Amino acid sequence: MLEIIGLSYAEQALYEALVERSPAALAELGHAASTAARLEQLGLITRLPEDPPRYVAVSPEMGLDALIRARTRELAAARHRAAQLAARFHRSVPDGDAADLVEVVIGKDAVGRWFQRLQESARRRISVFDAPPYATPMGGNAVEFELLERGVEYRALYDRRAMEVPGTLSLITRYVAAGEQARVGDVPVKLALNDLPMAIMPLRHDQHVVESALVVHDSTLLDALSALFEMYWERAVPLQVRHGRLAEATGPADAQRDLLPLLTAGLTDAAIAAHLGWSDRTVRRHVRAMMVRLDARTRFQAGYQAVVRGWLDRDAL
């Protein structure tokens, strides 16, 4: 198990023995001095000043975590170098090999691997159009959480229809808490782009399961897809989650503060109710009360007046 961070089988066995039985002499554990010397070098065990010497294991939270962090940095550097080489490769493709700039990927598993590769090869930014239908219930993208922790910027534009899919809003809450920039608007097609540059998009938009996809490398088509994302991103409304979690409404002011960002994002009453844990009737009651306070005849006017009066950040429009 620990071979991945550079430990041999003998080194792992000695370390695990000392974790369970420290301090101990090598003769008691039946291990060689060279194995102990290697573990000392890695900072996993400490030798006590005794004759014969006995050894004590360093806490796994300190010793193993340090090795894991070091290996993570090495892998991140390797990914970055691979991305640089891939970019150089695609820039050097002659016109005769232009067909290689767009690849057709067949099979759900193959599409999933390419999406993971797109994420892991990003240098600073990933941009995503997210829209239903979904093949399975919404689940977390573990790669995104890892890359957000590394400092990679994620921009996700969610289609308004996605807000009504069970589990979507709670999942977006987790992403935003981890650092994702989330917006809600109209999504023309499922799409993911990185700054390698590379993009992946389904060949057909009417399938529940993405069985085939286009992988687009550095080309004018990729430039067009990037421009398409930026155009829709600018039109979309930021989905705000206070303190990185769903806020509980404890009074009228809190209720309106929770309601406004969702209202300006264009969510339906059903989607707002699901997000805030209200009933549809409660949503309509709060909307009517807010429109009266803001002297607004439409929901759009209510959103505009909320910004004018400082109830909502202008950046949220």
Tell me the per-residue pLDDT of 160-199, one tens digit each, with 9 for 90 and over: 888 778 778 888 888 988 899 988 888 989 999 998 889 9
Tell which of 238, 263, 278 closes a domain: 238
- pLDDT at res. 147: 93
Verify that 159 and 48 share a domain, yes or no: no
Strands 153-159 and 181-185: parallel
Buried b (16+ CB within 10 A) or exposed e, 121-150: bbeeebbbbbbbebeeebeebebbbebbee
- pLDDT at res. 316: 45
Verify that 176 and 254 share a domain, yes or no: no
Verify that 231 and 260 share a domain, yes or no: no
Tell which of 58, 89, 120 closes a domain: 89
- pLDDT at res. 294: 76
Verify that 152 and 111 share a domain, yes or no: yes
In tens, the pLDDT along 80-109 reads: 777 777 766 666 655 545 667 888 989 888
Q: Which residues of the chain carry a pLDDT beneath 50?
A: 96, 244-252, 314-317
Verify that 125 and 232 share a domain, yes or no: yes
Verify that 107 and 183 share a domain, yes or no: yes
- pLDDT at res. 98: 60
Kindly report the CATH number assigned to the domain that includes residue 204: 3.30.870.10
Verify that 48 and 108 share a domain, yes or no: no
Kindly report the CATH number assigned to the domain that includes residue 270: 1.10.10.10
Q: Give the domain range for residue 261.
A: 247-316
Mean pLDDT of the chain: 80
Token code pair at residue 123: 């240098």
Tell which of 45, 65, 89 closes a domain: 89
- pLDDT at res. 90: 60
